[in-house]
Amino acid sequence: MGNLKCSEKESLEFDEAEHIYKWNGCRVRSVTQIIKDAGLIDDTWFTEFARERGKAVHKAIFLDIMGDLHFASLHPVVKPYIEGWIEFKAFSRIKTIPEYCEHRGYNPIHEYAGTMDVFCILNGRHSIIENKTGDEKYSHLQTAAYANIPEIAAFAPERFLLRLKPKGMPALKAFTDPNDFDQFIFYLNKTKEEIWNLKQSTLNTSDAEDL
């Protein structure tokens, strides 16, 4: 990574297939990768079906926000989740802000990137909503990281989890702990040090083998 020549022009790129972010041509860690490196995401029991379902639901919600959703064409597995999303929109009267939905951003101080699900006005306040169809235990850290991406931090947003269900109204949960971002940065620095130590250990082993 130290041999990469970064572009002088500031830009954030995302390789969706590899789930890799690059800032000015240099790879940076993602919010979910940091949380996973910290051991907070156990994907041992994740199934390909659950992954694809989650991706399809996220895409359908974004299409709905952009006004491009063809409801009749939704897969039967996805449709109930979107029905719940539409019911939640009507009940909560949120006003989505399309230009910041599925927004990719970068924090230049702590050098991480991520993609926020929904940015909206909820109860009169700018808000981040993280949509989940599966594991949600780390959503407070995700939303705290997104809330501190500069262009989003300017709004001082509130943070929420929307737990989408295959039947019925989704459950909305607010995150109000001001220490969530400090906790995320703790894991970011801890895993960065562990990765560095692992690289150094690998280099030292390689050097010893060459002797």
Query: Using one digit for the tens of pLDDT, what is the confidence trace for 170-200?
Result: 999 999 999 999 999 999 999 998 877 765 6
pTM of the model: 0.87
Query: Using one digit for the tens of pLDDT, what is the confidence trace for 54-97?
Result: 999 999 999 999 999 999 999 999 999 999 999 999 999 999 99
Distance CA 169, CA 39 (A): 31
Task: Report how far apart, in Å, the C-alpha atoms of 101 and of each of 2, 43, 81, 156 are.
Answer: 33, 26, 18, 16
Tell whether the torsion through CA atoms of 133, 137, 138 and 139 is positive or negative: positive
Three-state SS at 181: helix
Q: What's the rounded mean pLDDT across residues 195-209?
A: 55
* Angle in degrees, CA 145, 59, 138, rounded to 5: 30
| Chain-centroid distance, C-alpha 28 | 14
